[in-house]
Every structure is written in structure tokens, then in C-alpha cells.
Amino acid sequence: MGGIIVIGAQWGDEGKGKVVDVFSAEADYVIRYQGGANAGHTLTVDGKKTILHLIPSGILHPHTTCIIGSGVVLDVETLHEEITTLQKSGFLQRPEQLLISDGATVLLPYHRALDQAREEKRGLSKIGTTGKGIGPAYEDRASRKALLFGDLFHHDSLEAKLEASLQEKNFLLEHFYQKPPFSAKELTEKIKHLSEQLAPYRCKNTSQVIYKALSAKKKVLFEGAQGSLLDLLHGTYPYVTSSSTIAGSACVGSGIGPTSIEKVIGITKAYTTRVGAGPFPTELKNDPIGEWLLNKGHEYGSTTGRQRRCGWLDLVALRYAIRINGITHLALMKLDVLSGLEQLKICTAYELDGKTITDYPVTPGALERAKTIYKEMPGWKEDISYIRSAKELPKNCLNYVQTIASELGTPIDVISVGPGREQTLWIRPLF
């Protein structure tokens, strides 16, 4: 079969890590193709939590080959820490389990420093980035100044390349942001050491490896980071990340053609969350139900620990995500968090400038003006986290799930009722 893309259908943190880990039991390859260590993907196995930032979420399955493609901005320090932590826990025992593209963009401490300095200077109008250097690293790639992963192994030219890059960065840091500069010499030494540690994972042509896997009908998963509404071109700009987070990016970031893709699985929570600034029409701000979702859903960022903003499910936004990604199937996550709420609401349309609309507005400023129109439904009291078959879900809960699927016209193939692997209800098999 062709490749399967797993994509965040909201503003990130939908539960992509859990889904990819569960799917990986059957997958041969898992590929991360965009974003960087701004991602925080949580996997829970036998009650033990693993949070991955750069390494694909298939890594806990020894038979699965994990690939980091050229579209990723690779924080080499974080990557090294992640590898070491996994190895200490008994995973990633064979280097062949992880292949890193020579073409990935290297993210260094000065990218992080610039990201953080910029946010600080923006003050109240900050984006609320993760501070992981994502914007500055993608800028370097776009302006053709980036160091690529393959460059790290040419030690002779490393210091000169860093000197050239730091000229501009240090000027900005020192004179515009009043922050300390970086030394090319010190960084070179650090990178030389790191490159020796990372050399076993180097892969000169990940695009070819993926192509061969797909040609041999292997099971290949593409793991998205962030969410559709954080997409640089199609998200809530400027409150977005600096990469393309939609399904098309899987092809671009891993170097394969779109005809190799068979399914796009959209991951959505049964409600909505967002971290950082930007419009969020269904947000339950200063509202006891918002507090309920925050506490019961443990809605704190996996990367920064920040509190996530919480709100009702937004079908207008989901319809848009389904369209721009070509989502063929949905996975509905964190349904258990809604247990105990007396009344549930789903946003089915917006009112914008006196008109009812069901298409997500992309005109700048429109989303901020949009008012939500809700459908109300009765909730359920039962704890559903112990249920293992969709048929056993309480009537009102099934009604909630079926309403979402029929309003969206997209089938829900997977329902998740807890963070654990076993808390996954399959409506249809993946492969």
C-alpha cells in the first residue's frame, strides 16, 4: 500500500505521538518531515511516559525504522540528548533504527537565542513561540545560509561556515537585542564532538530509502508535527509556526511524490486546545468548563510546560483542515476528558459580519471577528477510559462521535479514551 500521513487537524498537541506509536506496531518506517524540537509528542506505554521532540514516534518499536527528513530543522544538541535518554531506557539499541537526512537544516544555540530575544522584544504582541529557534532556523534555510546535517562531518570547513553565519547573527544579538554573542570557535568544538556522536545515524539519501520502501510495498507512516492551523501559509498567520504543517509537506519534507500517498489520517481532540497567542473562536476563557478541560485533560505543553488554552470542538476549523490536507479518515482523541460534563457544545458555523458561514475564513482579521454558532448535545457521566470497544460507549457519547463524523462527512476510524496504547478503539483497521 501507499504511504499514510498522520496530521494534526487543529493547533497541535492533538495526540499525534500516541497515534503514531500505536500505528507503528504494524509500520516498517516512520518519517518526521517538518518542524523541529518545538514538537512534543507523548507516548505512554505501561504507564511510562516518553516525550519525543525530534525522533519519530515509532522508535519504541525495535522493528520500525525511523527517519528524519530534509524538511526538519534539527537541533543537534536536543537530538543527542533524546538519543541518550532513549538508549538509557533500553530503546534505540541499533543505530540502523534511526536515519537522519544529510539535507536536514541544522539548528544551533544562536537560533534559539534569536527566537527568544525577538519574542522578548515583541512584548505584548509576541507570537508565543516555543523559543526553540524554529523561525530563525527556517529563515537561514530560505535565505540559503543554513548549515546542513551533512556539513557537520566536514570538520575542516566548519569553523569558516560558522564564522560567516555568526557575523550577521552576532551583530543582531549584540546591537539590536543587547544579548551576548556566540563564539564560532567554541561552537565548532561543540559541533565536532556532537557530529561524532551522531555519525552512526547519518544517511546520505533518505529520500531514496523512502522511495525504495514504498516501491517494496512496505508500511510507511509520515508523522506530522504541529497542526494544520499553525501552517505558515494556511494557518492563523502570523500566529503560526515557520514550516508548512499540512499533509502536502510530507512529500516536500521527505522528498517523495504525492502519488505515493494513500491515506491522510487527521488527528483531532474531542475538544480544542491551543498554546501561544492567536485567534481561537471556541475558546472557553475564564470559564469553568475551560478549567475542567485544562485539569482533566492535563493540558500543559509537552515542550514548554505552558498552560494550553481550551475550548469546544470547532467543526468549521476541522472542515477546513479536512479540505487543505485531503484528510480521508479521522482519529478522535481524548474523548474520555469529556465524561462528566452535563451538556456539550460543538461549533457548527460562525457568524461573520452578520452572515452565517460554514467555510473557515482566511481573510486577515476575519477569524478574530467570527462569532460561534453551537449545536448542543447531552453529555454522559460514565468513565469511558476502561472501554475497549466503540460499541460499549454510552449512548450520548456515541451520539457525540456520530454527529461529528456526519457533520464533517469524514469517517472516524480510531477513538482514543486515554493516553495508553490499550485505550484505543478501532472502528476500522489502519492497514
Q: Which is nearer to ligand GDP, 203 or 384 (CB)?
A: 384
Q: Of residues 21, 28, 41, 155, which has the active-site annotation? A: 41
Catalog residues that contact ligand IMO under the rule CB under 6 A.
8, 11-13, 38-41, 127-130, 132, 134-135, 225-227, 230, 241-242, 275-276, 302
Which of 5, 6, 13, 103 is in the footprint of ligand GDP by CB under 6 A? 13
41 is catalytic: yes
CA pair distance 228, 185, nearest whole angstrom: 40
Is residue 303 classed as helix, strand or coil in its secondary structure?
A: coil
CB of 332 to ligand GDP, least distance (A): 9
Which DSSP symbol is given to 354?
T
User: Does residue 99 contact residue 271 with C-beta atoms inside 8 Å?
Assistant: no
CB of 299 to ligand GDP, least distance (A): 8
Q: Considering CB under 5 A, how many residues would be counted as binding Mg ion?
A: 3
The yes or no reply on residue 274 touching ligand GDP (CB under 6 A) is: no
CB of 59 to ligand GDP, least distance (A): 13
| Residue 199 CB neighbours (<10 A) | 12
The yes or no reply on residue 21 touching Mg ion (CB under 5 A) is: no
Chain positions 24 to 63 lying near ligand GDP, rule: CB under 6 A, are 40-42, 44
Chain positions 324 to 353 lying near ligand GDP, rule: CB under 6 A, are 333-334, 336-337
The yes or no reply on residue 231 touching ligand GDP (CB under 6 A) is: no
The yes or no reply on residue 224 touching ligand GDP (CB under 6 A) is: no
Q: Which is nearer to ligand GDP, 260 or 424 (CB)?
A: 424
Within 8 A by CB and 6+ apart from 331, the residues are 15, 19, 265, 266, 267, 268, 412, 413, 414, 415, 416
Locate 290 and state its grid cell.
Answer: 475551560
**Residue in the block written with cell 509500520:** 27
The yes or no reply on residue 410 touching Mg ion (CB under 5 A) is: no
The yes or no reply on residue 266 touching ligand GDP (CB under 6 A) is: no
Q: Judged by CB under 6 A, which stretch of 10-18, 148-156, 241-249, 355-363 contacts ligand GDP?
A: 10-18
Per-residue binding string, Mg ion, 266-305, x by CB under 5 A, is ------------------------------------x---
| Residue 121 CB neighbours (<10 A) | 12
| Residue 143 CB neighbours (<10 A) | 9
Q: Which is nearer to Mg ion, 16 or 169 (CB)?
A: 16
What is the distance, to the nearest Å, from the Cα of residue 321 to the centroid of all Cα atoms in its chain?
14
CA pair distance 78, 303, nearest whole angstrom: 12
**Residue in the block written with cell 537522519:** 100
| Residue 127 CB neighbours (<10 A) | 18
Which of 11, 13, 255, 349 is in the footprint of Mg ion by CB under 5 A? 13
Per-residue binding string, Mg ion, 189-228, x by CB under 5 A, is ----------------------------------------
The yes or no reply on residue 15 touching Mg ion (CB under 5 A) is: no
| Burial 391-421, CB ≥16 within 10 A → b, else e | eebbeebeebbebbeebbebebbbbbbbbbb
Q: What is the DSSP string of 21-61?
A: HHHHTS-SEEEE-SB-TT--EEEEETTEEEEESSS-TTTTS
What is each CA distance from 335 to 52, 100, 292, 398, in whole angstroms? 23, 35, 13, 10
Which of ligand IMO, Mg ion, ligand GDP, none has residue 44 at its interface (CB below 5 to 8 Å by kind)?
A: ligand GDP
Within 8 A by CB and 6+ apart from 328, the residues are 263, 264, 265, 410
Q: Judged by CB under 6 A, which stretch of 12-20, 123-131, 192-200, 375-383 contacts ligand GDP?
A: 12-20
Q: Which is nearer to ligand IMO, 235 or 397 (CB)?
A: 235
Q: Which is nearer to ligand GDP, 8 or 103 (CB)?
A: 8
Torsion of CA 42, 45, 46, 47, to 10 degrees: 0
Sites of contact with ligand GDP (CB under 6 A): 8, 12-18, 40-42, 44, 302, 333-334, 336-337, 416-419
Could you list the active site residues?
Answer: 13, 41
